[in-house]
């Protein structure tokens, strides 16, 4: 008996066949991952949003926005401040054809 296609299987096929949809998906996924990484770095450092905000020179609400998947305005400069404030290391990468190309560290 043939394996039934799941909704995820169909979605993956659509991503492969629709460059525009794939681009949108990749952008949204990158925003979600970045928000989660900011939250993880802050909590690992034992900081509240307010404490991180003070360290990077912004308001608590700004940190809350950065930890939201819908926020898309983080600059590399701001990310560098967050990394320094949380004892993290900032890496910016592009992945081409499954290979990672380091762009900045």
pLDDT digits (tens, 9 = 90+) for 41-96: 999 999 999 999 999 999 999 999 999 988 988 999 999 999 999 999 999 888 78
* Measured distance CA(39)–CA(37) in Å, rounded: 5
First to last CA, the chain: 50
CA distances from 6 to 3, 41, 59, 91 (A): 9, 35, 44, 35
Flag whether 1 is in a domain: no
pLDDT at 101 over 60: no
Flag whether 2 is in a domain: no
pLDDT digits (tens, 9 = 90+) for 20-29: 999 999 889 9
Helices 76-86 + 49-56 axis angle, to 10: 120
What's residue 95's pLDDT? 79
CA distances from 73 to 19, 28, 62, 65, 95 (A): 23, 13, 11, 9, 21
Flag whether 47 is in a domain: yes
Which CATH number characterizes residue 45's domain? 1.10.260.40
Flag whether 67 is in a domain: yes
Q: Please count the structural domains in the chain.
A: 1
Flag whether 29 is in a domain: yes
pTM: 0.79
Domain range spanning residue 46? 7-104
């Amino acid at each position: 008996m043939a394996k039934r296609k799941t909704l995820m299987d169909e979605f993956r096929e659509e991503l492969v066949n629709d460059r525009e949809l794939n681009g949108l998906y990749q952008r949204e996924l990158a925003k979600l991952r970045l928000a989660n990484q900011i939250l993880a770095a802050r909590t690992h450092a034992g900081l509240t949003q307010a404490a991180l905000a003070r360290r990077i020179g912004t308001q608590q609400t700004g940190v809350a926005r950065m930890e939201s998947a819908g926020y898309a305005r983080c600059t590399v400069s701001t990310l560098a401040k967050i990394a320094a404030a949380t004892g993290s290391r900032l890496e910016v990468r592009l992945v081409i054809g499954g290979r990672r190309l380091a762009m900045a560290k």
